[in-house]
Chain A
Amino acid sequence: DVKVTQSSRYLVKRTGEKVFLECVQDMDHENMFWYRQDPGLGLRLIYFSYDVKMKEKGDIPEGYSVSREKKERFSLILESASTNQTSMYLCASSFQGGSIEQFFGPGTRLTVL
C-alpha cells in the first residue's frame, strides 16, 4: 500500500522560530512536492523536487526553503515562522516520466502564534 507520512499532524510554534516539516514516502517516487492549503485558495505549490539534492520553486516559495538529501525524504523549512504561515501543509509524491498522479500525506496543521 502506497504511503506518504508527515512527521507531525499538529504543530504550534511561535513567531520567529525555525520550523522543520518532514515528509517520507515509501514508494520509490522521484518527485516530491510541498503544498499549503488555505480555505478558499485551494492547494498552492511551495517547492518541488525531481531528484535528490534538486529543488525547484513553486508558486509561493517566499519564506520557505526545502532540503532533499535522500530520495524518500523531503523537508520543508520555515526559517523564521510568521503568523501568515499558519496553514495546512501537504506533502505529495509521484513517479517521474509516467503518470502525473500525486499521492498525498495526511497533512500537518501548523499554527504560528
Chain B
Amino acid sequence: GQQLNQSPQSMFIQEGEDVSMNCTSSSIFNTWLWYKQDPGEGPVLLIALYKAGELTSNGRLTAQFGITRKDSFLNISASIPSDVGIYFCAGQLEDTDKLIFGTGTRLQVFP
C-alpha cells in the first residue's frame, strides 16, 4: 500500500529545546493531520491542514502543509516533559477518502 515516510523515528531532547519532524511521500495529499499518542492511549488530533502552504498553530505546536502537497512538517517550541509521546502524521490521498498514517516519531524530553 501507500507509504508515508516519517522522520526522525525517535528524538531525545532536553526540556526547553525546539523539535522538528516531518512526513514525506511520493504521492499527493489533500489533507494532512498530526496526532499525538500518549503511552497506553489512543491518538489525539493536534492539528489539521487543508491547503498547500497552510501554516497552523496550536499553542506551542506549528504544522505546515508542504507546497508540493507531498509533505508536512510539525514543530514544537520550548518542549516540556508532557510533550513526551509518539507523534503521527496522517495524509488523505488525492482523489480518495483514505487516510495513510506515518510510522510515528517517538519523543523523549529530559528535564
Mark A residues whose CB is within 8 Å of B: 4, 9, 40-43, 45, 59, 90, 92, 99-107, 109
B103 contacts which of A40, A101, A104, A105 (Cβ < 8 Å)?
A40
Residue B104 lies at the interface, judged by CB distance under 8 Å to chain A:
yes
Q: How big is the B interface, by class?
A: 20 to 34
List residues 65-111 of chain B with CB under 8 A from any CB of chain A.
88, 90, 92, 97-99, 101-104
- Report yes or no: A43 in contact with B101, Cβ–Cβ below 8 A: yes
Q: Are B40 and A107 in contact (CB-based, < 8 A)?
A: yes
- Contact check, B99 vs A42: say whether CB atoms are below 8 A apart: no
| B positions within 8 Å CB-CB of A | 1, 4, 30-31, 33, 35, 40-45, 48, 88, 90, 92, 97-99, 101-104
Describe A's contact surface by its main secondary structure: loop
A42 & B42 in contact (Cβ 8 Å cutoff):
no
CB of A41 within 8 A of CB of B103, answer: yes
Q: Kindly list chain B residues whose C-beta atoms are within 8 Å of the C-beta of A42.
A: 4, 88, 101-104
Q: How far is the CA of A40 from the CA of B101 in the complex (A)?
A: 12
How many whole Å from B31's CB to the nearest CB in chain A? Answer: 5
- Complex CA gap A102/B91 in Å reads 11
Known A-B contacts A42-B101, A59-B1; the reply to A100 vs B92 at CB < 8 A is yes
